[in-house]
């Protein structure tokens, strides 16, 4: 099986704080992998390194065999990402924002316009396409973040708590979208919502203190620990 995301001995210090401790992980192509761990475990740090937002202190990370540090732009051309709760340029409309990001990725003309319409419809913001984002709620911005993530139809999706701020209907719709598009894409998905992860992902990696504690299929973890929740709590130190 081809590996789409390869993380090798990734270490990251924030000043003296060790956020990632020689983390190694391999994500197979077209698999949906959940990244679980408590607050401060190193999930966001891992995803930010993959997206070129921060540099590792040591170690390597590759997307489709491309070094994310040495060839950052080439690696970024393969991914669509939602990191934390991103903010859009509030004085522009969703169409403006998506137009900007789409053009930076080489999309243009009618193809870009059509694709912007498609993704805006997909996240159910069609009535808001021409409204300045300063009027948007957090949940609406999160929907738009999903739209920008899918705009250029990337082969790899990197998602950090992507359902944060969505209402219950939004969470369900988001899950359906990711389940649908995830069949043809590699999805690396950090979340605290175990139910959500269990519904979208086939395997999970559980990390804490920057170290990998388990990386297995959800079925196997449930067999071993009775449930995914039990596995999470046991491995991250909640239950002995």
Partner 1 sequence: MSQFAQLGIVIRYEFLKHIRRARLYVILGIALLTELAVLILIPVLRDGYPNNVTVMAVLLTVGPSLAALGAVFFAGDAIAGEFESKTGFLLFINPIKRYILWLGKYLAGFIAVALLILFTYIIIVVSLLVIYQEVPFETLTSFGLCILFASATLSLTFLFSAISKGSMGATVMTLVFVWVISGILESVLGFTGNPYWFMISAGGDSIAMAYGGMESFMEGLGLGRFGAMMEQFQPLKVGEAAWGMTIYLVVGFAASVIIGNRRQLA
d(CA 37, CA 42): 8
**What DSSP letter does each residue of 77-119 carry, written as one string?**
TTEEEE-SS----TTS-HHHHHHHHHHHTT--HHHHHHHHHHH
Using CB under 8 A as the binding rule, whether residue 83 contacts partner 1 is answered as yes
DSSP 31: -
49-52 long-range CB contacts below 8 Å, 24 or more apart? 49/10, 49/12, 49/20, 50/5, 50/7, 50/75, 50/79, 50/158, 50/188, 51/76, 51/79, 51/81, 51/83, 51/158, 52/76
Single out the segment in contact with partner 1 by CB under 8 A; choices: 28-36, 103-111, 117-125, 188-196. Answer: 103-111
Using CB under 8 A as the binding rule, whether residue 51 contacts partner 1 is answered as yes
Report how many residues bind partner 1 under the rule CB under 8 A: 35
In 3D space, the residue among 82, 189, 102, 188 whose CA is nearest the CA of residue 142 turns out to be: 82
- How many CB atoms are closer than 10 A to CB 74? 13
The single residue among 10, 145, 146, 235 that binds partner 1, judged by CB under 8 A, is 145
The single residue among 69, 92, 172, 233 that binds partner 1, judged by CB under 8 A, is 92
Three-class SS of residue 5? strand
Using CB under 8 A as the binding rule, whether residue 182 contacts partner 1 is answered as no
Residue 155 tokens, joined: 């082969």
Using CB under 8 A as the binding rule, whether residue 88 contacts partner 1 is answered as yes
Q: How far is the CB of 122 from partner 1 (least distance, A)?
A: 18
Using CB under 8 A as the binding rule, whether residue 147 contacts partner 1 is answered as no
H or E segment to which residue 55 belongs: none
Specify the residue, 88 or 128, whose C-beta has the smaller distance to partner 1: 88
Using CB under 8 A as the binding rule, whether residue 55 contacts partner 1 is answered as yes
Using CB under 8 A as the binding rule, whether residue 79 contacts partner 1 is answered as yes
Q: How far is the CB of 14 from partner 1 (least distance, A)?
A: 7
Using CB under 8 A as the binding rule, whether residue 18 contacts partner 1 is answered as no
Q: How far is the CB of 26 from partner 1 (least distance, A)?
A: 22
Using CB under 8 A as the binding rule, whether residue 17 contacts partner 1 is answered as no
Q: Given the rule CB under 8 A, which residues bind partner 1? A: 14, 45, 48, 51-55, 73-74, 76-77, 79, 81, 83-89, 91-92, 96-97, 99-101, 103-106, 132, 145, 148
């Amino acid at each position: 099986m081809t590996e789409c995301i390869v993380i090798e001995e990734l270490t990251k210090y924030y000043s003296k704080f060790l956020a990632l401790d020689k983390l190694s992980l391999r994500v197979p192509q077209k698999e949906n992998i959940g990244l679980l761990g408590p607050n401060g475990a190193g999930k966001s740090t891992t995803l930010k390194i993959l997206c070129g937002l921060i540099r590792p202190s040591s170690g390597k990370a590759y997307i489709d065999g491309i070094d994310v540090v040495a060839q950052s732009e080439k690696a970024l051309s393969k991914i669509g990402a939602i990191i934390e709760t991103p903010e859009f340029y509030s004085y522009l409309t969703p169409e403006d924002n998506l137009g900007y990001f789409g053009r930076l990725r080489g999309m243009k003309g009618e193809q870009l316009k059509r694709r912007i319409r498609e993704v805006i419809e997909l996240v159910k913001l069609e009535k808001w396409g021409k409204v300045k984002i300063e009027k948007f709620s957090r949940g609406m911005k999160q929907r738009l973040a999903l739209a920008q993530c899918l705009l250029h139809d990337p082969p790899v999706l990197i998602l950090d708590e992507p359902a944060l701020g969505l209402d219950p209907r939004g969470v369900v719709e988001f899950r359906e979208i990711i389940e649908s598009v995830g069949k043809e894409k590699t999805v690396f998905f950090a979340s605290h919502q175990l139910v959500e992860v269990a519904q979208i992902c086939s395997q999970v990696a559980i990390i804490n203190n920057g170290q990998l504690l388990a990386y297995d299929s959800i079925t196997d973890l449930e067999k071993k620990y009775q449930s995914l929740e039990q596995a999470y709590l046991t491995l991250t130190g909640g239950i002995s």
